[in-house]
Amino acid sequence: MKEEKKEEVQVEKLEETPIPSGVGENKKETKKEKKHDSKLKDENKKLLEQIEVLKKTNNELVNKVKLAQAELINYRKRKDEEVSNMLKFANQDLITELINVVDNFERAIKLDDQDLTDEVSKFLDGFKMMYANLMEILKKFGVEEINRVGEVFDPSQEQALITDSIPEMDDDVVTEVLLKGYKLNGRVIRPASVKVNSK
């Protein structure tokens, strides 16, 4: 009987021994933490991917804005240049018509003064003064005469009507201007009609 009592006591003692807190629960908590960590990692990965996409989109938009700004600057430059050219050459038609009048003045002035009567000579002096005045006005508006006698023929400024054969001069050299050419602010508005040397 004594032996039976000892066994009971021992059993009672085992049953009374408290289980430390956290034993057994740790396994459950670590599983929860792992699940929570993996969710955080997934969310973090998704957020990083979104950040990369947003960065890429942002760079594309910045490049589009820069391109649009560059196009706007180029457009303004082209417009300014067009307006400037328009103002520079706005009176080209009028000047072209006036050049025809200048040609007529030059033909009249070429008359020999000695063969004329006094009255016609006075008219001719008046013509010379008007011609000089007209040429000054044209110069003021950017008109310059093309006179390249002795220089190599340039098809962008001259048109060859006749050829000369002067042995002392090189080929393709302008020997004489038959009809004057003119430039307006550097642009040829009427090419000079010339004689060109050809041996």
User: For the chain, how big is the Rg over CA atoms in Å?
Assistant: 51
Could you report the per-residue pLDDT of 86-118, keeping only the tens digit for each?
888 889 999 999 999 999 888 888 876 666 677
Instruction: Please indicate whether residue 132 or residue 25 has the higher confidence score (pLDDT).
Output: 132
In a domain, 8, yes or no: no
Amino acid type, 136: E
Query: Alpha-carbon distance 181 to 99, whole Å?
Result: 9
Q: Are residues 195 and 149 in the same domain?
A: yes
Query: Alpha-carbon distance 168 to 141, whole Å?
Result: 39
Element (H, E) at 192: strand 192-197
Identify the band that residue 155 occupies on the pLDDT scale cut at 50, 70 and 90.
very high
CB burial class (10 A; 0-12, 13-18, 19+) of residue 109? middle
pLDDT at 171: 87
Segments forming the whole domain that contains residue 113 = 91-138
In a domain, 7, yes or no: no
In a domain, 6, yes or no: no
| Domains contained in the chain, number | 3
pTM of the predicted structure, to 2 decimals: 0.60
Could you report the per-residue pLDDT of 27-70, keeping only the tens digit for each?
555 767 777 778 888 899 999 999 999 999 999 999 999 999 99
Q: Are residues 46 and 63 in the same domain?
A: yes
CATH code for the domain of 170: 2.30.22.10
Could you report the per-residue pLDDT of 106-153, keeping only the tens digit for each?
888 887 666 667 777 777 888 889 999 999 999 999 999 998 898 999
Q: Are residues 79 and 33 in the same domain?
A: yes
In a domain, 65, yes or no: yes
